[in-house]
Structure 1
Amino acid sequence: MTDIAPTPVFDYFSQVDLPTPTLSDDEVQRLFADTFGGEIDVQALGSQQDQNFRVFARGSAEPLGVLKLSNPVFSEAEIEMQDAAAARVAERSPQVRIPRIVVGPRGAMSTWWESSQGRIHARVIENIAGRTLMGSGYLSPATVENMGALSAAVSLSLADFTHPASVRVLQWDLRHAERVIDTLLPLEPDAGVRAIVQRAADAARAALAPVRDRLPVQAGHFDVTDDNVLCAPGAAVPDAVIDFGDVCASWRVGEIAVTVSSVLHHDDATPETAFPAIRAFDQVRDLTDDELTALWPLVILRGAVLVLSGRAQVRLDDENEYASVALDREFRILEQAASVPIPVITAATRAALGRSRSEEPAWTGAPVLSLGRHVELDAATESPLNDEGAWLDASTLDDAAMAAIDAGADVVTVPAWRARLTGTTDPLPSTPETVPTDVLVWLAAPADADDALVWTVGAESVTTLPARTRLSARRPLDAHVPPRRTTRALADAWREVAGDPGAVIGVPAAAPTPDDLLDRRHEVLAEVQEHYYAAPPRIERGWREHLVDVDGRVYLDMVNNVASVGHAHPRVVEAGSRQMHLLNTNSRFHYRAITDFADRIAATLPDGFDTVFFVNSGSEATDLAIRLAMAATGRPDIVAMREAYHGWTYASDAVSTSIADNPNALSTRPAWVHTVDAANSYRGKYRGADAVKYAPEAVAVIDELAASGRPPAGMIAETYFGNAGGVALPDGYLTEVYAAIRRHGGLAIADEVQVGYGRLGEWFWGFEQQGAVPDIVAVAKSIGGGHPLGAVITRREVADRYRTQGYFFSSTGGSPVSSAIGMAVLDVIEQEGLQENARVVGGHLKRRLEKLGEKHDLIGTVHGSGLYLGVEFVRDRETLEPATAETAAICDRLLERGVIMQPTGDFQNVLKIKPPLVVTQASVDVFVDALDHVLTTGF
């Protein structure tokens, strides 16, 4: 029997140096014409070991495809295998776009060229439309997830693919990574790089060794990376895979390990960033426990191979720009892959996949401290220690500990693993690393320090621990000392792997409990009662312009005009608390607070506004204002401006025409509602100087209604176009429209719910900007500082006509507590100069945002005044095409960077910037810097 000769295939270790082909453009064009026919233009593309061009028919801007000149070391069988694997994936996973060989006038464009550099294989592959993720810009969780899904689809499609050439030995095959490192490491001239690679690779080898022989093997692409996936034009996530040049048989888990590695060099990436990709892969390929053990060691080894190979390629071919540019990215991959100890990131990955967790290592020795009377302090987000901003004082914890010791405690501790907000002296810009890994200890008297306690404290020369001094004890993992603060996921993983340092001194922390609050919210609240963000942080504390989640992360609140004078303002809290101690009851009782508050709020308005109604919300306020107009005139018709939102009650919803809040708003208005064009001088029918035409057209609508025998009862409008993101009405608009409505016996209603109460800086009320005076003012949000409170203010003769509709009362509108809080809010605005703060800080913020618009084309304009601003994003500054998807993505990325922001406007393409009025210039600078970073690095 004759043995069949094995297919000759490439073996990297027989030829470590792989110089890239460097054919000239002229030679490529000549050879192309000779073999495939037709004259072409070429555009060079990067590659580490091949030579690639995008090719065009001469004079055309439409690409024919991508010409790939394979490195001469690769055999015909290997090239045929690559094409066959691509065809298999295209057949098995039709949802994935895969390039095929282009068929030209002379057949398939795939052949061997006899070039000036020897025999080279040339083939033209379809040019798949779209963009790669090349570079180090930001990758969203959805993008990372799709990368994992593509990796899984390719892996599944090739699960039973076989080919004689699949046994080739590539430097990128992770089964050979250790040998590649051993080959290249001695050749690396930089001792610092050698040390970093050696240390990381040694840890990876040790972790991989127990499972390497049990890992499943199959054919795979093994290069589903950011450079080799494409997003279709206009799409945010990838759906195509290109470049099957690394196809071989290797460990199945290597497919996702390679994908994960390519995520790690991107902006803000950490090992946790890769979890969406791993989850997506696992859902399709069901990673075994051995594969999970191997995953992160393989990611590290991939990073080490990339670093050494890239640097070796540049030394060999210093004109290879593709390899040169990649050096920093490849080094960052290795740094990030090795930034968390393998056991810890592996435990966190298992938890992210919902796999069972192991028990944390128990402390088997006796406690190293004799505790006596022990007091444990709570420094978490909701602890009373943190009230009234005390969490920003570095001395708060020490003061509390000393007070406990003075009261008789022998030992005071603060546990590890639980959020520790207290002592956060520099909250912005915030980071997600908020969970402490150490236990804090204060001793009433000196204590001997045995080896175990010295080890955890990390003070090797200490033999006696001093009294009344804070100690920070952590349990190292092998040679790794945990960071003092880490993320929630990694904190749980560190605890699982290293154990609890509190157990060493006899005060173990309580085991973490799963937080199912969001699931419960979805179960008990109506689906239409939405919350911000798909995966919202759980916010349990606010202070000034800060919001704090349960893990102790501090967010900058740039959207919350409800908390007008800042979250948890002490004067507002004290006023409500004091009044609650005294009386809170139905507003129909006789008590002082409601009268005093009515006097105070009326005094902020022009003469004639002498009568106040109190309600509980902006919706109720605008609803009541409409009913007042109807009752005062005896008419049912109301004129409203389009694209506005006034509330959710029957009447306020009837006059709301924002399609963002109700897509069917215009088609479902009752017959008594008549609308006029949104007077938006930026993107409305009339723009710029032509915006003066809005008022005459609105007047014409009012006149026509009167002429038809239906003179309107009133006209309601936001006095500053708040729902669109702070767009000022054209100068004189309200003066003209108010005059027209009054000429026909109607009343002018000013909706000041969003912009009133000093937010605009220059003006306390929005109508002041117009030089107009309404008949009825509706206001809420700001006046309660977060407490449910609204008001309608008008003249006595208008209010008295409401008797024709019966009588009015709101049980808790203007209650004793509501009134006390309302007066405290006014006190704070006036006495702390918050209107002036809105003017000064808001002016600074607007100038910075406008400067940002000079840098980023996505910013169409900046609307607004004071601390009611809007950044409008457009895809084209001429057509003003709304950048809706981009705005949502920007808000999500800002959340990752610690800034609360939401979109507004009919197209949801405007940032609604309306922070608490106490916001500082330093805080708004943090916001602008974060926005600049997001717009620069991607979203």
Structure 2
Amino acid sequence: MLFDYFAHVELPTPTLGLDEATALVRSEFGIDAMLTELGSQQDQNFLVHPVGAPEPLGVLKISNPVFTEPEIELQTLAGARVGERQPTVRTPHVVPGAEGWWQTSQGPLHARIISFVSGSTLTGSAYLAPAVVARMGELSARASLALADLDHPAAARTLQWDLRHAGRVIDTLLPLEPDLAVRERVAAVAHAARQALAPVADRLPRQLGHWDITDDNILAPDLPGALPDAIIDFGDVAASWAVGELAVTLSSVLHHDGATPLSTLPAIRAFHELRPLNTDEADALWPLVVLRGAVLVLSGRQQVRLDADNAYATDGLDREYRILEQAAAVPVAVMTRLIRHALGLPIDDSPRWGAAPLLDIDGPTVLLDAGTTAPLNDEGAWLDHDALDRAAQRALDGGAGAVLLPALSPVLTGAPLRTPTAPATIPTAATLWLAHETPLHVPEGATVDRDPTGVTITAGDASVRVTGAFDTDERMLPPRARIDVRLTAAGADVPAWLAPAVLPGWQGLVGDPAAAIGFPAPEQPGPPEAPAAPADADLLARRASVLADVQEHYYARPPRIERGWREHLIDTDGRVYLDMVNNVASVGHAHPRIAEAAGRQLRLLNTNSRFHYAAITEYAERLAATLPDELDTVFLVNSGSEAADLALRLAMAATGRTDIVAMREAYHGWTFASDAVSTSVADNPHALATRPSWVHTVAAANGYRGAHRGVEAARYAPEAVAHLRALAAGGAQIAGFICESWFGNAGGIALPDGYLAEVYAAVRELGGLAIADEVQVGFGRLGDWFWGFEQQGVVPDIVAVAKSIGAGHPLGAVVTTRAIAERYRTQGYFFSSTGGSPVSSVVGTTVLDIIADEALQENARVVGAHLKGRLEALGAQHPLVGTVHGAGLYLGLEFVRDRATLEPATTETAAICDRLLELGVIMQPTGDHQNVLKIKPPLCLTTASADFFVDMLDRVLTTGW
């Protein structure tokens, strides 16, 4: 007789003691092994590790006594079938000679040893990356495909986990649940899901399935970044609805850190790609996820009441309840529409108003744009919640009869800062301001429902809800008041605001109310608005088709950033990200003083530097004044690459030589000369092998992971000096030595004390010049020093600088002595069309003014010290943290897999950056091993933003990536 759950509601697991199980393994199977008990809800499992063996033999599974031998046989057969049909999926098998019935202290029990499958499960509630979720869906699909044509007499078994019987399980267990709040919540959620499932249930395809491909039964190899590739535990194999395989998998995603219903979409897409879902299955999927959650909650709580010592069942209660809550967090109809949208299946149209308009608007109309690129939001005005009302009142003052903020478009105005989840930035209601008191018309045949906050007018299958400060009895809309108008399917309950990602799901219930209130094509005063922006995916594809592949972008799935403000970057959905990597925008994004200065100068003059105008002289004087007195002559260019290139040519011209010495693991630029001295293999894997003959290198003076560490790092300088002298003795005529004065590309590592003093002295002794590359670290970023070389107590012969000095404008400079500059005439003349143009010069001067006026160097010192202290504290909690480099707001957080060997955590660092993006933080890796977070935000970073960054990083390191 096959097992029928409804005849055996109670399923207490076997509870053999460890000693008895160990003895039985020895006596029955002839295996001398150490056993470790594992968790299970209905069977009893032990890890079997033979004495002296390097790894476990497998898992001893003692089946629940209610299961029959044919059912156990089916489990073995199903595991073998998946392994055969899907060779990329690892599955267990029964160890030969290790299966049979035991006579135990609890009566006859069936036992077998299932082969050991190496790796780690996804058990627990750590974060699951989209790639992992997608692989879970793929594994579910592969098992479904492999088992689709398998038949067996035991396939007809009835299990509580069979989602065909979820309603019966709920009906059986719900009256037994003692907690009234839990009982009522489960009943309400399950009722809605059963109603949604009923129309398609009889049409759903059936087949044999695993039905437990969850985070507990999926394994990944124990390698960094490895995706799951194994399925274990075929104990629930039976015949049921095929789509239930995926529903079970999805449910196990929902309790993980940060998971929402949307987190399951990668798994749904991956399943559908291998084993396409028909429309009935797509419609059944989310109701089954909800029902799975309800069964988990009721069954888990029942199991704990029956078996109070079952730690596995007890530990799962909170996770199971979170699964149910997340499954029910979005209405089934909304999630079903999102699933159809994700799979490209047909979806219902948005509701439309088919009756006569509700308003007659007197006068011209204006649409209010509050999106990311709207001028309304310039200069940080988006932080002001009242900006919309003021803009509307201005339009009414200008003669508009009505102003409308459209529904269902992202609104940046009033958007929150520092949000670990994408905020709801899309209003489901249009907001209306009227110049005159206006009656609200009720179309013939429509129904009207009034309440203290507004009026709902329903015509056919659509309703318009009008709310605001007006008299609902008189139905007169007052002038200049803010009124919300929402169009929904009749009877639908829709949130006031939606996150952009869920909008496609809700559009089956909410529509654009503009036509319902008689809003005609708007009259836009002033210049026309920019054309509608193309879809982000289309724009990214267009970028890929027109730009060279090597001109990469951050992230595989980048947000579309169209606005910045101070230390924030903002995408087209109105999400505000914290920018912790953008040292180019030194004084903050979109600084109004820079915009005003550049705009004013553009209205006056912009030409090349050969013309005579004041701006270039004034800027060069200001720039030179920040440097030691002897560095008094300035060349202006457009970028750091050009600055480094020119610095090298200056050294060659001044000395009449061509040999250059550079420090390894550094990046200096992309021009011919600056690229030649760049030796970072992260930027160019062939950098060292392809250096021209005139470039020589010294070891990277990395006191953390280089050849000399800690106090031994003092050896780098004398070794570099010895190498320089050996080069000279071998015939090299050294023109110059180029080095970042603070080891920026490696992650903000300070050079050993005295390093530059010794090396600069040796270079000069040999007839060369000292070049300081300050492109990344100069201009106050280090806090205690305006220039990086100041920390070393030296004065270089040539300084190359860019990035920060233009705050995003293309501006670079080389500063040297008059004598060195004059020698450049041996190479001809120097000219840069836009280097030092009037606009560039004015921008450069304004940047210096802002740094001084807003005390940004001091801010870098104070906030940077706070940030570094908090980052260092992470090291006490998270072994992945190797160390924190840097000073001020040029920091590097280095991740290692082992603090003794310093094995770089490259894969983990990339994944951490991706996870931080989801949490609202822009971050990228650096260094030759790409295992260092390059923390170099705008100098206006606040303590609150620094704390948010560390809090999010702590969350990632705690909950996974």
TM-score normalised to structure 1 length? 0.97
Q: Are residues 1:484 and 2:475 paired?
A: no
**Secondary structure of residue in 1 paired with 2:408:** coil
Which one of 326, 331, 335 corresponds to residue 336 of structure 1?
326
Q: Quick one: distance in 1 between partners of 2:421 and 2:208?
A: 44
Task: Say if 2:433 is the partner of 1:423.
Answer: no
* CA drift at 1:207: 1.1
How many percent of aligned residue pairs carry the same amino acid?
A: 66
Whether the aligned pair in 2 keeps the contact of 1:475 and 1:482 (CA below 8 Å) is no
* Structure 2 residue 314 is matched with structure 1 residue 324: yes
Cα separation, 2, equivalents of 1:803 and 1:168: 92
The aligned runs of 1:203-222 (5 Å cut-off) are 203-222=192-211
Write the mapping of 1:581-660 to structure 2, written as runs, cut at 5 A. 581-660=603-682
**Counterpart-to-counterpart distance in 1, 2:494 and 2:533:** 18
> Partner amino acid for 1:454?
V
CA distance in 1, matches of 2:515, 2:100: 69
Q: What is the CA–CA distance in structure 2 between the aligned matches of 1:42 and 1:210, rounded to whole Å?
A: 49
1:41 partner amino acid: M
**Correspondence for 2:244:** 254
Pairs within 5 Å for 1:437-476: 437-448=428-439, 451=448, 454-455=455-456, 456-457=465-466, 462-463=472-473, 464=475, 465-476=477-488
d(CA) in 1 for partners of 2:753 and 2:881?
Answer: 24
* Alignment of 1:749 onto 2:771: yes
Is residue 2:388 matched to residue 1:397? Answer: yes
Is contact 1:430–1:553 with CA below 8 Å preserved after alignment?
A: no
Query: Can you list the C-alpha shifts for 1:503-546, whole angstroms capped at 9, x where unaligned?
Result: 43234999997431001000100011000000000000000001
> How many angstroms apart in 1 are the aligned matches of 2:267 and 2:932?
31
2:85 alignment partner AA:
R
Tell me what 2:173 maps to: 184
Could you say which residue in structure 2 is the equivalent of 1:35? 28
How far is the alpha carbon of 1:485 from its aligned partner?
Answer: 2.7
Query: Cα–Cα, structure 1 residues 181 and 509, in superposed 2: closer, same or farther, change >3 Å?
Result: farther
Gaps of 5+ in 2: 443-447, 457-464, 523-531
Do the aligned residues in 1 keep the contact of 2:351 with 2:488 (CA within 8 Å)? no
Give matches, 1:242-391, under 5 Å.
242-373=232-363, 374-391=365-382
Amino acid of the residue matched to residue 282 of structure 2? L
1:531 aligned to which of 537, 545, 553 = 553
From 495, 498, 508, the counterpart of 1:496: 508
Aligned mates of 2:412, 2:711 — CA distance in 1: 52
| 1:666-685 equivalence runs, <5 A | 666-685=688-707
Preserved CA contact (<8 Å) 1:48 1:323: yes
Q: How far does the alpha carbon of each residue in 1:9-64 deviate from its partner, in whole angstroms, 9 at most, with x for none?
A: 10111111101111111111121112101332211111011111101224656312
Distance in 2 between residues matched to 1:517 and 1:507, nearest whole Å: 31
Q: State the partner residue of 1:83.
A: 76
Change (3 A) 1:647 1:611: same
Instruction: Give CA deviations for 1:845-880 in whole Å, capped at 9, x if unaligned.
Output: 000000111111100000000000000000000000
Name 1:560's counterpart in structure 2: 582
Q: Distance in 2 between matches of 1:819 and 1:843?
A: 32
Take 2:219 and 2:162, find their aligned partners in 1: how far apart are those partners? 23
Q: CA deviation at 1:369?
A: 2.4
AA of the residue aligned to 2:138:
A
- CA shift at 1:443, angstroms? 2.9
Deviates more, 1:807-816 or 1:347-356: 347-356
1:282 positional shift:
0.2
CA contact (8 A) 1:502 1:509 kept: no
1:548 and 2:559 equivalent? no
In structure 2, the residue matched to 1:51 is 44
- Distance in 2, matches of 1:430 and 1:442, equals 31
Distance in 1, Cα, partners of 2:466 & 2:263: 31
Match of 2:190?
201
Assess if the C-alpha contact under 8 Å between 1:474 and 1:482 holds in 2. Answer: no
Q: 1:273 to 1:586 in 2, by over 3 A?
A: same
Shift in Å at residue 635 of structure 1? 0.5
Partners of 1:145 and 1:425 lie apart in 2 by 30
Deviation, 1:466, is: 3.9
2:685 to 663, 683, 695: 663
Q: Distance in 2 between matches of 1:534 and 1:780?
A: 28
Shift of 1:461: 8.6
SS at match of 2:507: helix
Q: The residue matched to 1:778 in structure 2 has which SS?
A: strand
Per-residue deviation, residues 77-111 of structure 1 (Å, max 9, x unmatched): 000000000000000001001011113xxx2x111
Is contact 1:761–1:842 with CA below 8 Å preserved after alignment? yes
The one-letter code sitting in structure 2 at the alignment partner of 1:903 is P
What CA deviation, in whole Å up to 9, does each residue of 1:570-624 have, x standing for no partner? Answer: 1111110000000001221111111111000000000111111011100000000
Distance 1:458 1:193, change over 3 A: farther
**Which residue of structure 2 aligns with residue 735 of structure 1?**
757
Distance in 2, Cα, partners of 1:212 & 1:584: 71
* Matched letter for residue 492 of structure 1: P
What displacement does 1:502 show?
3.8
Structure-2 separation of matches of 1:102 and 1:152: 27
1:345 aligns to what SS in structure 2?
Answer: helix
Residue of structure 1 in register with 2:112 after alignment: 123
1-structure distance, mates of 2:845, 2:875: 40
Moved over 6 A (4+): 508-513
**Equivalent residue for 2:99?**
110
Question: How many aligned positions are there?
Answer: 928
How far 1:486 sits from its partner (Å)?
2.2
Residues 41 and 59 of structure 1 are in contact (CA less than 8 Å); yes or no, is this contact kept in structure 2?
no
Task: Give the deviation of 1:496 after TM superposition.
Answer: 3.2
Alpha carbon RMSD of aligned pairs, Å? 1.7
Secondary structure of 1:713's match? Answer: strand
What secondary structure is seen at the aligned counterpart in 1 of 2:280? helix
Deviates more, 1:451-460 or 1:611-620: 451-460
**Aligned with residue 863 of structure 2, among 841, 849, 872:** 841
The 1-side partners of 2:401 and 2:547 are apart by 47
* In structure 2, C-alpha distance between the alignment counterparts of 1:39 and 1:798, rounded to whole Å: 82
Equivalent pair of 1:849/1:928 in contact (CA under 8 Å): yes
TM-superposed deviation, 1:661 = 0.3
Q: Which residue type is aligned with residue 600 of structure 1?
A: R
The one-letter amino acid paired with 2:213 is: V
Q: Check conservation: 1:428, 1:556, Cα contact below 8 A.
A: no
| Aligned partner letter, 1:483 | P
The whole-number CA distance in structure 1 between the counterparts of 2:481 and 2:638 is: 51
CA distance in 2, matches of 1:265, 1:503: 42
After TM superposition, the score normalised by the length of structure 2 is: 0.95
Q: Which residue of 2 aligns with 1:3?
A: none
Match of 2:849 among 819, 827, 837: 827
Q: Secondary structure at the match of 2:229?
A: strand
- The answer for the alignment partner of 1:152 in structure 2 is 141
SS at match of 2:912: helix
Residues 232 and 425 of structure 1, relative CA distance in 2, 3 Å threshold: closer
